[in-house]
Amino acid sequence: MSTPYVTAIYVTYNSEDVIRETLEGVRGAYEAGELSCIVVDNASTDATAGIVRNEYPWVTLIQSAENLGYGRGLNLGSERVDTPYVLYMNPDAVIELPSIRRLHTFMEDHPSAAIGAPAIIKPDEDYQHAGGLLTPYLLVKRAVVGTEKLVAPIVPNTAPFQTDWLSGAILFGRTSVMRSLGGFDPRFFLYYEETDLCKRVLDRSWELWAVGEAVAHHVGGASSKQKAPELEAGGCIPSHFYQSRYYYLTKHYGWKGTGAQLVELAILGAKDAARFILRRPSKHELRRRLQAPIFQYPPLELAYSPHRSASNCE
């Protein structure tokens, strides 16, 4: 049996419906001696941990006493990694041995690449996109033209291309680089943890690549639900989204991040007003945005006791 070159890390939370299929995906790589596997379970209340423990003895199971969130869960699993590469995985994402090998070969052939990501086929047969790393300027532009015009799909079986943002659903990273960056910023409990990581990778002059020759797919369209489904109650997922976005923007861009959000609000208001004047159906974009947090950071307690804080969202 050869020595593994990559360790797959899954972070689960009440993932019993998807964990079997996603682990079966990497079984071939494990049996070929090319992959080790770690599951960090964020205090699931369903059968997730029992399934991993009883049905997949070749997987290292780490059971957290509380819900750490996605990035902190990956950081916990990373402490056990002793392979040159790490594969960060959503629990509803499936990748198999040929695509793992393709990502490994690509990274070996491109020593300046810190992270590679495969093409991911979504349940609706759409493709995961790449590019569009959030900046203050891009936030304003998105408010005007929308997101879809600013990104590119990673089409299966197409040539690799360099980019500035990759989805956190599946990331094939160089372990030494991930450790030099300190892993994921623990302040992000949910959303934008991979955006922050991509930004820090680029700031260190490393490269991000979309590798369409490697292909994966989603079991279902509920990755955020798998991360922390209880956060859906009371509009809490929008809260985490906008709090994390504001923290990311001000962390990297200071006052420009705050200014961009002010401009975004003005643009949304202007678009709603224009529809009213033209007697077109209103999308109520500004009103919906104002229902979510404005100029708020993720609560500090989430970085230390996220399970208790998350339950307050119900």
Domains, the chain, ordered by start: 6-223 (3.90.550.10), 229-311 (no CATH)
Query: How far, CA to CA in Å, does 248 sit from each of 78, 181, 213, 272?
Result: 22, 16, 31, 27
The residues, ordered by sequence, that sit 6+ positions from 105 with a Cβ below 8 Å of its Cβ are none
Q: How far apart are CA 234 and CA 244, in angstroms?
A: 17
Name the one residue in this structure whose structure tokens are 């879809």.
148
pLDDT at 276: 86
Degrees to nearest 5, angle at CA 184 with 17 and 220:
20
Would you give per-residue pLDDT tens digits along the chain (314 residues)? 589 999 999 999 999 999 999 999 999 999 999 999 999 999 999 999 999 999 999 999 999 999 999 999 999 999 999 999 999 999 999 999 999 999 999 999 999 999 999 999 988 878 999 999 999 999 999 988 876 667 899 999 999 999 999 999 999 999 999 999 999 999 999 899 999 999 999 999 999 999 999 999 998 644 443 444 333 434 456 788 999 999 999 999 999 999 999 999 999 999 989 988 988 887 788 888 898 899 999 988 666 544 333 333 43
Q: Are 132 and 151 in contact (CB under 8 A)?
A: yes
3-state class of 198 per DSSP? helix
Q: Are 208 and 174 in contact (CB under 8 A)?
A: no
Q: How far apart are CA 229 and CA 93, in angstroms?
A: 17
How far out from the chain centre does Cα 143 lie?
Answer: 22
Helix, strand, coil share (%) of the chain residues, nearest 5: 45, 20, 35
What residue ranges in 102-253 does DSSP mark as E strands?
A: 113-121, 129-130, 152-153, 161-163, 170-174, 207-218
pLDDT at 288: 86
- Measured in degrees and rounded to the nearest 5, phi and psi for residue 264 equal -60, -45
